[in-house]
Structure 1
Amino acid sequence: MTPDLTATPAATRKTALIVGAGIGGLSLGIRLQSLGFDTTIVERLDQPGGRAYQKRTADGYVFDMGPTVITVPHFIEELFALERDKGMLGEADYPAQVLAPDARVREGESGGERTRDYVKLVPILPFYRIYFDDGTFFDYDGDPVSTRRQIADLAPEDLAGYERFHADAQAIFERGFLELGYTHFGDMPTMLRVVPDLMRLDAVRTLFSFTSKYFRNPKMRQVFSFETLLVGGNPLSVPAIYAMIHFVEKTWGIHYAMGGTGALVDAFVRKFEELGGTLRLNAGVQEILVTDDQGRPVRRPGGKRVARGLRLESGEELHADIVVSNGDWANTYLKRVPAAARLVNSDVRVKAARQSMSLLVIYFGFRREGPELNLRHHNIILGPRYEELLTEIFGKKVLGRDFSQYLHVPTLTDPSLAPEGHHAAYTLVPVPHNASGLDWNVEGPKLVERVYDFLEERGYIPNLRARLTHSEFITPDYFEGTLDSYLGNAFGPEPILAQSAYFRPHNRSEDVRNLYMVGAGAQPGGGTPSVMMSAKMTARLIAQDFGIHPSVRDGVPESRPAELAAD
């Protein structure tokens, strides 16, 4: 007989603590509530969002401070469809209907029926306008006719190469995303089983080398490799499996939450609280409480280690059956898990990991009056040097003489983010993280002035200085201080081959039982869809560890593994 989990007494439910109310933490909180846990999310900032924090200014502007690109809307629909105590992990991973192109957009609105109860998603076309240094541009919209026409205009010698790239990138997408997207690589055999396929698909060489096989024109090489920068990856270093991003966007489009990404965060909070979850703000975590299996303090390496709860910066202690960190992977272990409890994730291993680059982001408002903008919602403005600049940022860790940027102008879609007659915008410039030793109190303002000069002088925003009404910026110091990211990284460990799949931090801690990771620092990696995938991966591991069969939606439990019975 199928147990009725909705009748489970509160006293017998398992409890969970999640550190960090970013998109990964909120997504997991919703999933744990659906699995029957009583979940509390603690957040050190004064509002949820983490990297997706939204700032409202006194002069009427609204700025999303982090992610702005929303893809794979059925991931969002899955979360809003979950119910309390149903033992649910979501619908089938990729039901046929969500793969149909006409299913992603209906009458100018994206997402499914449940999503529309919480937030309004709209499609964005083109996905990106990609500007080259000579003033030409490429509007990437996923449309095969438009794509081929623009290649014919800009690089006719690469039309045949695009056909080969399209076919090979699709094969990587089908194997790497559709089939393996939710695979948690927790052991080496799981990894070794997929290596032959990755080799056959040529998915282990670097992405830029992969694209260079098909395209001779530098512009096309840039168009089909830049996207990994939006998840913290250097196209010169990330494995070619990231060619799947092209097909992720092509299949499900690019979307925007009306009101900004902050509106999506608020919707996740609403869903989490409707399911009975608790969110605590201004609650920074000092330590993850770890004991041996007898409940005694950990004093030396070795033996079984169990996560018991959290000590907040206020001194308050919270206890739970499981603890999950949605915080920075490196600082979770370096700062919050006692060194005596860590053998795998030791200080040496954590500090040796390569971290993603950081960012300088300028948030600015300006009057609409003046020449019409030749911009789109999402704009990629590439500098005169591509490979050289990437090497300076990721390798040499220096500021170059030029820069590339992502210029986001959401008020072209959503005027509500600025006072009447004004635009709100942000421009994001990849920069080295704080291992560079750069003094951002000096270099930050100088780079801001260079960016403003560039945008005005090159005609992207004519007369910008005269029209400017609001200006502020963040640097790697914001990521290191406010967001508590190791070295001020913006996306967690850099997604190189040696830090992907099995070699990326695991969602289930190897050192401490009942301690889990979720978000950009865990598998599968950075980016809004990936952190939602991470939440589902981690929820599956927890379901397995606590005897809730992850493939059964009606909540049929299995016997709890013997090794966890003592907990």
Structure 2
Amino acid sequence: MPAMSLPAELQRPRRAVIIGAGFGGLSLGIRLQSLGFDTLILERLDGPGGRGYQKRTPDGYVFDMGPTVITVPHFIEELFALERGHAQLDGEDFPQSVRNAPRVTVGPSGGPHTQRYVNLVPILPFYRIMFDDGTYFDYDGDPQHTREQIRELAPEDLAGYERFDRDARAIFERGFLELGYTHFGDLPTMLRVVPDLLRLDAVRTLFSFTSKYFQSGKMRQVFSFETLLVGGNPLSVPAIYAMIHFVEKTWGIHYCMGGTGELVRAFERKFLELGGQIRYGAGVQEITVTDDWGQAPSPLRPRVARGVVLESGERVPADLVVSNGDWANTYLKRVPARARLVNSDLRVKAARQSMSLLVIYFGFRDDGQPLNLRHHNILLGPRYEALLREIFGQKVLGADFSQYLHVPTLTDPSLAPPGHHAAYTLVPVPHKGSGLDWSVEGPKLVERVYAYLDERGIIPGLRERLTHSEFITPDYFAGTLDSYLGNAFGPEPVLVQSAFFRPHNRSEDVKNLYLVGAGAQPGGGTPSVMMSAKMTARLIADDFGVPPSIRR
């Protein structure tokens, strides 16, 4: 007589444990709750966000410590629209209504579900890109305004811009709209897209690709710098990253009032509303791995994730485990070496890690004079290619630097005390493989940055107007965020670490172990991390037989 299965309503919900409450962990937690899993997120910090942690100071400043650029608002809308038993995993990822949605230039951003949780507003221009000679380019995605500025700064590149715009659009349509959610879990999937990538010339380096169209060094920088915001060196990332230009141009750049931390807390709230659980101050020491019979794994027996062991020694069982932590340290520190054949110590340590960052968080008095700055500012030093080679290749600190200067109080004064501004400036630096002593080099570089901002008139009189100052270095990424070598963005997105060659969202070594976030596919950056969550959710739904009625 065949065994009778229990009715669906009496079956035990499967338990998922997610390590890390960053954007990836929270986004996936929301999706797993919508799929019917009971999800517990474990976070070693005292609050959500991970790299997107928000800090509030006793003297009244609010600093987003990580991501500040928000784009593709319909990704956010989709997460806020999810409900238990209604996962929206199947169907088109980019329906025509989304593809044709005009970029919002006034009023709130996002759809009705988003507006229940946060207030997103568009930012224009997207960036003010300031060159070392004092000129600047306000990039806002508007084709006519872009042409006007090229005509003023580099008229010889007008025709080249038209060709770049056409070819970058083709890469965007194929690489993002059609392939963006493809999980390259096997080589045949990768090989099927190689002819298209070759046809689009998307495998050469981005800077080389950009140089085909622009003669001016300034224009080459304007249309290639964006990969630095996701940890990629324009001199070595593949040209498929030219699609970032069109991602921003298509859906704009947005800001969450109250800072990115408000969006993080909104994701936390949505996750909790769906029945999820979060524990803070709960660092994970080890991922429990056994074979199918509960024995210690060996190369000859299946390896299965059974839960985690906390730093406190507490054991937390689970049917599946997902790491939103650093890819390298997930395997090197938390999965037993005997359970790792593909992600061995040799392979993980040989991978190229992205650069790190020095980030200065500072507050200063508003002296009543308008700042010649915008919400997002890219301050380029006198060298571009040479500086990138020093940071990524030679791993040394150069005589000059470039930086991303974020002044959110130009949009949202609530982040600082009355009459003050809150800002942060981010300087790309080598990761800890450089051997630099950041307890020595950090304060020296901070003083150089303040001197530059003050003496170049970027923020006149800054050093006299400072009311708050603190900073983080690669030591913060290595220690507080437990990132291998203090990298800031996971594996460097070079060609040999992209698509199939990037860490897989489903572990090749351990059954029921998954990855999500910047270290997994498709890569770094807030939109990609949210895409990663949907990709991983689909893999889990496939592996655990979630019925189509729930996936819709």
TM-score bracket, shorter-length normalisation: over 0.9
Corresponding letter in the other structure for 1:333: Y
Q: Which residue of 2 aligns with 1:134?
A: 133
- Alignment-derived partner of residue 210 in structure 1: 209
Q: Against the structure 1 CA distance between its residues 20 and 383, is the aligned structure 2 distance closer, same or farther, given a 3 Å change threshold?
A: same
Question: Which residue of the other structure, out of 506, 509, 525, is the alignment partner of 2:507?
Answer: 509
- Give per-residue Cα distances to partners, 1:151-199, cap 9 Å, x unaligned: 0000000000000000000000000000000000000000000000000
> How far does residue 98 in structure 1 lie from its aligned partner after superposition?
2.0
Partner of 1:397: 395
Q: Is residue 494 from structure 1 mapped to residue 489 from structure 2 by the alignment?
A: no
Post-superposition Cα deviations, 1:521-550, rounded to whole Å, max 9, x if no partner, equal 00000000000000000000001111125x
Supply the distance in 2 between the matched residues of 1:23 and 1:484 (Cα, whole angstroms): 16
1:100, CA displacement in angstroms? 2.7
Alignment of 1:176-215 (within 5 A): 176-215=175-214
**1:325-364 equivalent positions in 2, closer than 5 A:** 325-364=323-362
Q: Could you tell me whether the CA contact under 8 Å between 2:105 and 2:122 is conserved in 1?
A: no
Tell me the distance in 2 between the aligned counterparts of 1:9 and 1:214. Answer: 60
Task: Give matches, 1:11-160, under 5 Å.
Answer: 12-89=12-89, 92-102=92-102, 104-105=103-104, 107-160=106-159
Report if the CA contact (8 A) 1:78-1:90 is conserved.
Answer: no
Question: What secondary structure is seen at the aligned counterpart in 2 of 1:293?
Answer: coil
Q: Which amino acid aligns with 2:340?
A: R
**Within-5 A mapping of 1:167-316:** 167-298=166-297, 300-316=298-314
Give structure 1 stretches of 5+ with no counterpart.
Answer: 1-6, 558-567
Report the Cα offset of residue 99 of structure 1.
2.3
CA shift, 1:234, in A, is 0.1
Work out the CA distance in 2 between the residues paired with 1:501 and 1:196.
Answer: 14
Contact 1:79 1:90 in 2 (8 A): no
Shift of 1:106: 7.2
2:288/2:307 contact within 8 Å kept: yes
Alignment correspondent of 2:550: 555
Letter in 2 for 1:436: S
TM-fit CA distance, 1:42 = 0.2
Post-superposition offset of 1:8: 4.7
Residues 472-483 of structure 1 mapped to structure 2, 5 A cutoff: 472-483=470-481
Which residue in the other structure is 1:458 paired with? Answer: 456
Cα distance in 2, alignment partners of residues 240 and 106 from structure 1: 28
Aligned counterparts of 1:109 and 1:231: Cα–Cα separation in 2: 26
Report the equivalent of 1:560.
none
User: Does the 8 Å contact 2:106/2:122 carry over to 1?
Assistant: no
Counterpart mapping for 1:442-457 below 5 A = 442-457=440-455
369-378 or 521-530, which moves further after superposition?
369-378
Q: How far apart, CA to CA, are the structure 1 residues paired with 2:403 and 2:550?
A: 47
Equivalences, count: 546
- When the two structures are superposed, what TM-score results if normalisation uses the length of structure 2? 0.97
Map of 2:4 onto structure 1? none
Letter in 1 for 2:361: Y
RMSD of the TM alignment (CA)?
A: 1.2
SS in 2 for 1:110: coil
Taking the aligned partners of 1:472 and 1:496, their CA distance within structure 2 comes to 32
In structure 1, distance between residues paired with 2:382 and 2:213: 22
Residue identity over aligned pairs, in percent, reads 79
Whole-angstrom CA distance in 1 between matches of 2:453 and 2:439: 22
C-alpha separation in 1, matches of 2:157 and 2:106: 35
Give the whole-Å Cα distance in 2 for the aligned partners of 1:10 and 1:371: 67
Q: Which amino acid is the alignment partner of residue 530 of structure 1?
A: S
C-alpha distance in 1 between matches for 2:343 and 2:274: 34
TM-score computed with the length of structure 1 as normaliser: 0.95
Structure 1's 90 and 34: CA in aligned 2 closer, same or farther, altered over 3 A? farther
Aligned to 1:288, the other structure's residue is in SS state strand
- In structure 1, how many angstroms separate the alpha carbons of the residues matched to 2:551 and 2:174? 30
Kept in 2: contact 1:329–1:522 (CA 8 A): yes
Task: Provide the C-alpha distance between the structure 1 equivalents of 2:92 and 2:117, rounded to a whole number of angstroms.
Answer: 22
Q: Structure 1: how far apart are the matches of 2:160 and 2:330?
A: 44
Q: Distance in 2 between matches of 1:139 and 1:198?
A: 30
- Comparing 200-209 with 366-375, which one deviates more in the overlay? 366-375
Q: 1:97 deviation in Å?
A: 1.9
In the alignment, structure 1 residue 420 sits paired with structure 2 residue 431: no
Q: Distance in 1 between matches of 2:479 and 2:87?
A: 38
Deviation above 6 Å: which 4+ runs of structure 1?
none
> 2:311 & 2:352 partners in 1: Cα distance?
29
2:207 corresponds to which letter in structure 1? F
Change (3 A) 1:445 1:270: same
* Whole-Å separation in 2 of the counterparts to 1:301 and 1:18: 26
Pair 1:224–1:106, CA change in 2 (3 A): closer
Which deviates more, 345-354 or 87-96? 87-96
Please, which runs of 5 or more residues in structure 2 have no aligned partner?
Answer: 1-6
The equivalent of 1:441 in structure 2 is 439
Give me the whole-angstrom Cα distance separating, in 2, the residues matched to 1:235 and 1:402.
18
- For 1:168, the aligned partner's letter is D
Cα distance in 2, alignment partners of residues 349 and 385 from structure 1 = 34
Find out whether 1:321 has 2:340 as its counterpart. no
Distance (Å, rounded) in 1 between the aligned partners of 2:120 and 2:177: 23
From the superposition, tell whether residues 59 and 389 of structure 1 become closer, same or farther in structure 2 (CA, over 3 Å): same
Aligned: 1:545 with 2:540: no
Change over 3 Å in CA distance of 1:431–1:517 after alignment to 2: same
C-alpha displacement of 1:86: 2.7
Aligned to 1:471: 469
Structure 1 residues 237 and 71: alpha-carbon distance in aligned structure 2, compared to 1, 3 A threshold: same
